Amino acid sequence: MLVLEKISKSFKIDGKRKYVLEDINLEVNGHDVVAITGRSGEGKTTLLNIIAGIIVPEKGKIYYRNRRVIHFLDIHTAYLRNRHFGFVFQTFKLLPEETVLENVLLPAKIKGFVGEKIKDRAESLLKDVGLLEFKKMKAGYLSGGQKQRLSIARALINNPSLILADEPTANLDKETSAEIVSIFKNIAANDGCSIIMVTHQEELISFTKEKYKLTNGKLEKQNG
């Protein structure tokens, strides 16, 4: 479903060009759950940005469903992000002044549809993540774990085929992290989505089928 071919990206640091990603190859098939680990600053988030079409790689190609992702065509990458990808962030990226329901509906609004059907779906997702009773509450008032559950519901609203999760449990306590892991497990098992997650959490890594480690710009597959 998603193929990365020899992706490279460098940044200029103190006048010197440093490659944070070098000839990265990755293949993610339908229903795959992939974990990418690595130390801070190793380029994990940059890799997610490149997959999402937000950052343009210097070298290499990305294919999504056998079609090349054209990074320079903003409308094309925006379309992919909205219709095919879902996003879950360490810092949640919610609109705190909007209600829980409005936050879930945001990708659907960007898509252009906000009919009753989509509202029903939003409520159903909120029910799945245990937030239906808070649907009219402003997102800013939710706890960390609730915010992450809300961001997962938002990621699923447009029925994505791929979820990109950036340290989804990093800001949460152990108990809440376990809840989020459980939700991800459910998504992987029932929603048929592929998941690429950047994480340090052992619990999250443990249920993924494939594990990669990003070190010195290279992506290495981990055993087990």
Partner 1 sequence: MGKILLLLKELRGNFFLNFILLIVVMISTLLSLVFIIVVLNFSNYIDKTFSKSISPDMIKVSPRPTSTPKITGLFGMKLKQPKGTYIDDDILYQIKKIKGVKEVSPLLASRIPMQVMVSIFGLNYGSDLICIGVDYNLIAQDLKDKNAIKLWNNWKEGNEIPTMIPEILFQAYNSSMAEPNNLPKVSKDMLIGVKLKLNVGKSSLKTLNGSSTENAYVAGFTDKVANICLVLPLRVMRYYNEKFNVRSEYIHLYVKVADHASMVSVTKKLKEMGLIVESDKTLSEEILKLKNFVSIIGNVFIIIVIFIASIAIAFGSVVAVSNRFEYYKILRILGSSKTYIVFSIIFKYALLGFLAGILAINLFDYAFKMIATKFSLVSYISITSLTKPMKNNIILLSTLIPAFFSLFGILKLYDQKELVID
146 near partner 1, judged by CB under 8 A: no
4 near partner 1, judged by CB under 8 A: no
79 near partner 1, judged by CB under 8 A: yes
The position carrying tokens 């800001």 is 171
Residue 211, strand partner residues: 35, 222
> How many residues sit in the footprint of partner 1 (CB under 8 A)?
32
Helix, coil or strand: residue 209: coil
Amino acid at 178: A
Name the one range near partner 1 by CB under 8 A: 61-69, 100-108, 142-150, 170-178: 100-108
159 near partner 1, judged by CB under 8 A: no
| Contact track, partner 1, 29-68, x by CB under 8 A | ----------------x--xx--x-xx-------------
Instruction: Evaluate the CA torsion angle 82, 84, 90, 96 in order and state its sign.
Output: positive
81 near partner 1, judged by CB under 8 A: yes
Helix, coil or strand: residue 26: strand
Smallest distance, Å, CB 223 to partner 1? 29
Selection from 112, 97, 93, 109 nearest residue 52 by Cα: 93
Smallest distance, Å, CB 175 to partner 1? 26
133 near partner 1, judged by CB under 8 A: no
Positions of E strands within the chain: 2-13, 16-28, 33-38, 59-64, 67-68, 85-89, 162-166, 194-198, 210-215, 218-222
Please identify which residue in 39, 61, 68, 113 interacts with partner 1, judged by CB under 8 A.
113
Q: Which tokens is 23 given? A: 């000839």
10 near partner 1, judged by CB under 8 A: no
Helix, coil or strand: residue 160: coil
107 near partner 1, judged by CB under 8 A: yes
18 near partner 1, judged by CB under 8 A: no
Smallest distance, Å, CB 78 to partner 1? 4
DSSP annotation of 187 reads: I
Task: Measure the CA–CA gap between 78 and 64, rounded to whole angstroms.
Answer: 14
Site residues, partner 1 (CB under 8 A): 45, 48-49, 52, 54-55, 74-75, 78-83, 87, 89, 91, 93-95, 106-114, 154, 164, 166
